[in-house]
Chains A and B, each alone.
Chain A
């Protein structure tokens, strides 16, 4: 019974990792590839690690598996955000058929600050408040 559970969980995780590998080869754009690497692989690796925890059935191994999954879920989005931000600044183009770039014109190229788009009036208000104080 335990073996069947391990087989199912491990096979599902491996399928997700294979799909991510196919996706990183086939996707037309850097940003689409980035979305593949962060989401699908986190799920697939988590499933494989759960299979290991079921197999060993020991407190030490289970705590280790929980720690690995926790690190993975904590670090993968941060790394993806940072590399995506850096690639946007270095001028990596989107796919030709992409329909929406919501960040267009929002980033200040010099100071690397993100603007909200509706800030001309708000910024004046903020500066006025500062002057009053």
Chain B
């Protein structure tokens, strides 16, 4: 079993399954904060998929995008938390 086949037929389907499971929580989420953290988790899993894809193609440039996504996910979650707290304060 080569590394290519292992990543292509073993790792990527499992990561896709994880994305689908998180998507269930994103659509179902009873509260707003559930959706926020599932969105955060979705982006983090996306970083994993990008990393595996960069190993598959041999292009190290994709890791730059992974770095940017890691920062953006943090900013999104913090912004959501900030405005949720502020909205509660004004009520």
Contacts and interface: CB of A to CB of B under 8 A. Distances in A.
Interface of A: 3, 6-7, 10-11, 13-15, 17-18, 20-22, 24-25, 30, 33-34, 37, 41, 44-45, 48-49, 51-52, 55-56, 58, 60-61, 64-65, 67-68, 71-72, 75-76, 78-80, 82-83, 85-87, 89-90, 92, 112
A112 B85 contact: yes
A86 B11 contact: no
B48 to A, nearest CB: 5
A89 B84 CA distance: 9
Q: Mostly helix, strand, loop or mixed at chain A's interface?
A: helix
A14 B31 contact: no
Given A10-B7, A79-B81, A24 B38 contact: yes
Given A24-B25, A45-B44, A45-B47, A61 B63 contact: yes
21 contacts: A15-B14, A18-B15, A18-B17, A25-B22, A33-B37, A61-B60, A71-B70, A79-B74, A79-B81, A80-B37, A82-B78, A82-B82, A83-B77, A85-B81, A86-B82, A89-B85, A90-B33, A90-B85, A92-B31, A112-B85, A112-B89
Given A58-B60, A83-B37, A30 B67 contact: no
B51 to A, nearest CB: 5
A41 to B, nearest CB: 5
A79 B15 CA distance: 23
B85 A86 contact: yes
Contacts of A3: 2-3
Contacts of B18: 14, 17-18, 20-21
A55 B52 CA distance: 10
